[in-house]
Amino acid sequence: MPKMTFIETDGNRREVEAPLGLSVLEIAHKHSLDLEGACEGSLACSTCHVVIEPEWYDVLPDAAEDEEDMLDLAFGLTKTSRLGCQIIMTEELDGLVVRLPGGSNNAQK
């Protein structure tokens, strides 16, 4: 089973099982991590914003324009920010490391 690591806001690292085909948001919820996802993955908010560790950012497929538009609303936006609902676990992403931001903006469309 692929794994990924979430770095929580307090710096705690949690390595979890990351089933293929699930989004980072779904994986976070499966393991009771604090990642909101107010729109339930419908790309209508930025509450599942995560910060990808730099060594993993270029491994991910490019963000679609709709995701980039939503990211503009994200709390604590960085160069390696993505929406967790848009990152789907693949074998290539085994070992992925993402950081949970210190908050979220819930500004749904």
pLDDT in tens, 43-84: 999 999 999 999 999 999 999 999 999 999 998 899 999 999
> What is the distance between the alpha carbons of residues 6 and 4, in angstroms, rounded to a whole number?
7
- Residue 49: the pLDDT is 96
pLDDT at 103: 62
Q: Do residues 18 and 109 lie in contact, with contact meaning Cβ atoms separated by under 8 Å?
A: no
pLDDT band at 102 (very low <50, low <70, confident <90, very high): confident
| pLDDT at res. 107 | 47
Threshold 0.85, pTM exceeds: yes
- CATH fold for domain 3-99: Ubiquitin-like (UB roll) (3.10.20)
3-class secondary-structure state, position 31: coil
